[in-house]
Amino acid sequence: MLTNFSVTPAAEKFMRRVMRFSGLPSSGGFRLLVKSGGCSGYEAEFSAEVEARTGDETIEVHGLRLFLPAESRTLLDGLKIDFIETPDRSGFAFIKEDQRSAVPVSADVARIEVSGIGRGWPVPPPKMS
């Protein structure tokens, strides 16, 4: 299933940053799981992965590999993925585009766990000296 969605430069920059800091080889990819739910209708989880999981579709955006599960592909169809940064929070926004205007579907922020930036391993607490 070929999903029709777009990624803004801000979202692409964030995804590339996650990949760069993950330490994974360049053949890895950014896995984005989008689910129905939350106050605004969408929740997002992401991770840097060595390879796509069973059922994921690999989509390339300017050389960046995205691994999208089936549910994500369905929900992302017709949306623009953006990344919003404000002084007090940051996260993905999913914007529904039609021919007349762009209407934010979700300006809510995806919760970013530190372990999501690495390889999904829990990060130990800092050692106290």
**What's the CATH number where 28 sits?**
2.60.300.12
Report if residue 129 sits inside a domain.
no
Range of the domain at 17: 6-117
Quick one: pLDDT at residue 88? 82
Contact 84, 90 (CB under 8 A): yes
Query: What 3-state DSSP class applies to 28?
Result: coil
Asked whether residue 128 is assigned to any structural domain, the reply reads no
Q: In the chain, how many domains are there? A: 1
User: Within a domain: residue 123?
Assistant: no
Sheet bearing 57-61, strands edge to edge: 42-49, 29-36, 64-68, 57-61
Residue pair 14/93 in contact (Cβ under 8 Å)? The answer is no
How far from chain centre, in Å, is Cα 122?
19
- pLDDT, residue 38, reads 63
What's the CA gap between 68 and 53, in Å, rounded? Answer: 9
Confidence at residue 96, expressed as pLDDT on a 0 to 100 scale? 83
pLDDT for the residue numbered 85: 87
Q: What pLDDT sits at residue 31?
A: 96
Q: Determine the pLDDT at residue 98.
A: 64
Average pLDDT per 10 consecutive residues for the chain, totaling 129 residues: 83 95 92 80 89 95 94 90 87 74 45 47 47
**Within a domain: residue 17?**
yes
CB 30 within 8 A of CB 125: no
pLDDT at 107: 46
